[in-house]
Amino acid sequence: MGELSAFSFLPGQSRLHWLDARIKLLGLLLISLLSLGAGGVSLAVLSVIMIVLAADSGLSLIRLAAELRYFFFLLLLVFIARSLSTPGETVWQWRLIHISVEGLVSGLLVCWRLLIVIVAGLLLVHTTRISRITGAVRWYLRPIPFVNETRVALMMGLVVRFIPGLLLRAKETADAQRARGVENRKNPIYRLRVLVIPWLKNIFLEADELVQAMQARGYTGRRTEPAFSLQRGDWVALTILFCLMVGLIYLNSI
């Protein structure tokens, strides 16, 4: 898990790399909101856009699938839960368990929507420096009263920055437990406990060390703001984004 890399920024020259972070963040927000109620046609349009953008930013479909392999288990669970819990015309039944056509369709749609949102988020993180993302978050949150935009942006930045590290640490802890024969213990709760407790302990210790390191480097919350300026390409992208949104809203309404 620690080798996950698309979840972190990779320098490049693609269109997404050049795009202003505020527009990418807005795009992610709008795509996420619209995909919640999107039907098959809208989702197909969004899927094509995601595939084209991923390819342009250097992420092949195989690489995307490999990066999201653990996420597919979650999608599978959602799909099964939807298939079993949605009433409708039964296609398969065994005792109390029955799967309906409506359940299969609904499960498929929910998983597709979640996949679109995840891929859009992944593309944002993969093509944008954390400092630009947090700068964009600060820019959007600044007019909102009672919200400490600097703190929110910092928390977001640190979470994104440390996801690969946390996964790597989890793998190291799991390997250390396996080296000491934890697989001989059949109780899953015991195995989870001996994995999670040292893992969390290490995370908290590292978080404490990180706070000290940040303070030592003069972090106070007041920082140089990234300079944003919309270029011609950004305006074009913004226009395309709004046209797309209007189109999708229309498609969702018919």
User: Binding of another protein at residue 222 (CB under 8 A)?
Assistant: yes
| Residues whose CB is less than 8 angstroms from the CB of residue 30 and which lie 6 or more positions away in sequence, other chains included | 241, 245
Segment near another protein (CB under 8 A); pick from 6-14, 17-25, 62-70, 89-97: 6-14
Of 96-135, binders to another protein (CB under 8 A) are 129-131
Query: Which amino acid belongs to residue 38?
Result: A
Query: Least distance to another protein from the beta carbon of 204, Å?
Result: 12
Is the Cβ of residue 15 or residue 129 nearer to another protein in the bound state?
Answer: 129
The answer to whether residues 33 and 200 touch, using CB atoms and an 8 Å cutoff, is no
Compute how many other C-beta atoms are within 10 angstroms of the C-beta atom of residue 246. 10
**Smaller CB distance to another protein: residue 175 or 209?**
209
Q: Are strands 97-100 and 90-94 parallel, antiparallel or unpaired?
A: antiparallel
The residue within the footprint of another protein, chosen from 166, 174, 226, 241 (CB under 8 A), is 226
Q: Report how far residue 175's alpha carbon sits from residue 20's, in angstroms, rounded to the nearest whole number.
A: 41
Q: Which amino acid is at 179?
A: A
Q: Which of residues 180-219 bind another protein (CB under 8 A)?
A: 206, 209-210, 212-219
How far apart are alpha carbons 252 and 191 in whole angstroms? 46
Please identify which residue in 220, 232, 253, 254 interacts with another protein, judged by CB under 8 A: 220
# residues near another protein by CB under 8 A: 31
Sequence-distant (6+) residues with CB within 8 A of 233 are 15, 18, 19
Q: Directed axis angle between helix 188-216 and helix 149-179, to 10°?
A: 130
Candidates 9, 79, 112, 199; binder of another protein (CB under 8 A) is 9
- Considering only residues 141 to 170 of the shown chain, the ones binding another protein according to CB under 8 A are 158, 160-161, 164-165, 168
Which residues are near another protein by CB under 8 A?
5, 8-11, 129-131, 158, 160-161, 164-165, 168, 206, 209-210, 212-220, 222-224, 226-227
